[in-house]
Amino acid sequence: MSWLADQGPSTISPIAAKVNREWVEHALSTIKAAGYQKSDARREVVEAFARHDCAVTALDLEREMRARKSPVARATVYRVLEQLAELELAHRVDVGLGLASFEPVMPSGEHHHHIVCRSCGRIDPFEDPGLERAVTRVSAESRFAISDHEIILRGLCPRCS
Amino acid sequence: MSWLADQGPSTISPIAAKVNREWVEHALSTIKAAGYQKSDARREVVEAFARHDCAVTALDLEREMRARKSPVARATVYRVLEQLAELELAHRVDVGLGLASFEPVMPSGEHHHHIVCRSCGRIDPFEDPGLERAVTRVSAESRFAISDHEIILRGLCPRCS
DNA sequence: ATGACTGCAAAGCCTTTGCACGCAA
DNA sequence: TTGCGTGCAAAGGCTTTGCAGTCAT
């Protein structure tokens, strides 16, 4: 079994949706406040990222920007994503496909988790308040200072089962 | 921030504990039943693996076996772990450190989840029946045929916070 | 004897880093 | 002008693969 991604776009984010302007502004102002200077490349990455609300990889973003004729160097994509993660504007999620993916952090605090098909790699997001409460309780009981959590369900999607 | 592991043994499994004979026998018989033939290298890997009850990487196992003067080629370690995963004797867990780790699957079905320190990389296991019930409920409600789940809490360990 | 398994080395892939150039402030 | 930011290419690190030799059956 190969769990490394192949050449093509990952199944994580097949489509590029409309950019989330609100999030972009939130992100850009946070970035500015953190002392970073303004640049086209960074804005491109932030906007490309803001078209997603579920896990995307750096390589996906690179491909999308190239397709839109606003190419940004791969290294820069990684650097910007790293900065976003540092500023808590992005969370790294690791769905187990061997490559890092990220998703935007909503200021509202709302977030979701992932169901991954072990056959086709399809990823669906889900939310569940009860589960969320349970995780929050466990986090509070822990001796760690928990700031984040990740839940992944694995199985076969309707089509593959 | 570098999230790739460095050269040394990962913090995931600092010590090699006593081998779990019971699990080894369970594994070896399952492997045999699956049609694989007997070999020293495979047995070594299975035994090394059976010394762990939390996440270990292929490279950890390679190092441990070499330290025990029973070296097994890296490629073989990966191949055996892959076979174990296929036979559901091991689960791949992805704690987000950029390398794949595995843990033995207990026939009893008991399992735990992980708390990862985002500063030092320390990984603690935890169990929580209430959380487990919530995940099970969500899994059942999903349209996927869920066979497995993974929960990761991230934050700062007592020493780092 | 036949096919499976191992070890070694090379290749692949994702990610990071070094460095020279360009741009923001 | 100063130094941050970018692009390119090379290096790093984990994982996989090809192949020849060895071992189980």
Residue B38 three-state SS: coil
The per-residue pLDDT for A89 is 97
Of A67, A66, A49, A41, whose CA–CA distance to A13 is shortest? A49
pTM: 0.85
* C-alpha–C-alpha distance, residues A123 and A153, integer Å: 10
Q: How confident is the model at residue A12 (pLDDT cuts 50, 70, 90)?
A: very low
Please report which confidence band the pLDDT of residue A13 belongs to, taking 50, 70 and 90 as the band edges: very low
Strand D: which positions are within 7 A of a protein CB?
A: 4-10, 13-18, 23-25
Whether pLDDT at B80 is above 60: yes
How far apart CA A142 and CA A132 sit, in angstroms, is 15
Which chain A residues are Cβ-neighbours of B94 within 8 angstroms?
94-96
- The stretch A41-62 carries a mean pLDDT of 96
In eight-state DSSP terms, residue B64 is: H
Nearest-angstrom CA–CA distance, B99 and B5: 7
Q: Å between B98 CA and C16 C1'?
A: 13
pLDDT digits (tens, 9 = 90+) for A83-96: 999 999 999 988 77
Find the distance separating the first CA and the last CA of chain B, reported in whole Å.
18
The reported pLDDT for the residue numbered A16 is 46
Asked whether residue A28's C-beta has any atom of DNA/RNA strand D within 7 A, the reply is no
User: CB of A42 under 7 A from strand D?
Assistant: yes
pLDDT score recorded for residue B120: 77
Q: A151: which chain B residues are within 8 Å (Cβ-Cβ)? A: 135, 149-152
Residue–nucleotide distance: A75 CA to C13 C1' (Å): 15
Q: With an 8 Å Cβ cutoff, are B134 and A131 in contact? A: yes
Q: Which residues 79 to 98 of A reach strand D, CB within 7 A?
A: 79-80, 98
Instruction: Give the residue from chain B lying closest to A131, CA to CA.
Output: B134
Three-state secondary structure call for residue A156: strand
Q: Which nucleotide is nearest to B73 (CA to C1')?
A: C7
Using an 8 Å CB-CB cutoff, list chain A residues near B117. 144
Q: For the segment B113-129, what is each residue's pLDDT rounded down to a tens digit?
A: 999 887 777 888 999 99
Residue B109 φ/ψ region, left for φ over 0, alpha for ψ in the -120 to 50 degree band, beta for the rest: left
Which candidate, A107, A12, A110, A116, places its Cα nearest to that of A54?
A: A12
Helix (H, G, I), strand (E, B) or coil at B97: coil
Main-chain phi, psi angles of A86, to 5 degrees: -65, -35
Contact by Cβ (8 Å): B115, A144: yes
Q: Can you tell me the distance from the alpha carbon of A126 to that of A110, in angstroms, rounded to the nearest whole number?
A: 12
Share of chain A above pLDDT 90, in %: 70
Looking at residue B94, its amino acid is D
Confidence of residue A152 (pLDDT cuts 50, 70, 90): very high
Report pLDDT for A18: 78
Type of residue at B10: S
Encode pLDDT of B6-54 as tens digits.
333 444 444 446 889 999 999 999 999 999 999 999 999 999 999 998 9
Q: Which nucleotide is nearest, taking the CA of residue B38 and each C1'?
A: D24
pLDDT value at B144 more than 80 = yes
Span A54-75, average pLDDT: 96
Which residues from A are below 8 Å from B when comparing CB atoms?
Answer: 1, 3, 82, 85-86, 92, 94-96, 98, 100, 115, 117-118, 124, 126, 128, 130-131, 133-135, 137-139, 142-158, 161
Percent of chain B topping pLDDT 70: 89
Residue with tokens 């495979």: B42
Report for A46-50, A93-97, A124-128: range of highest mean pLDDT? A46-50
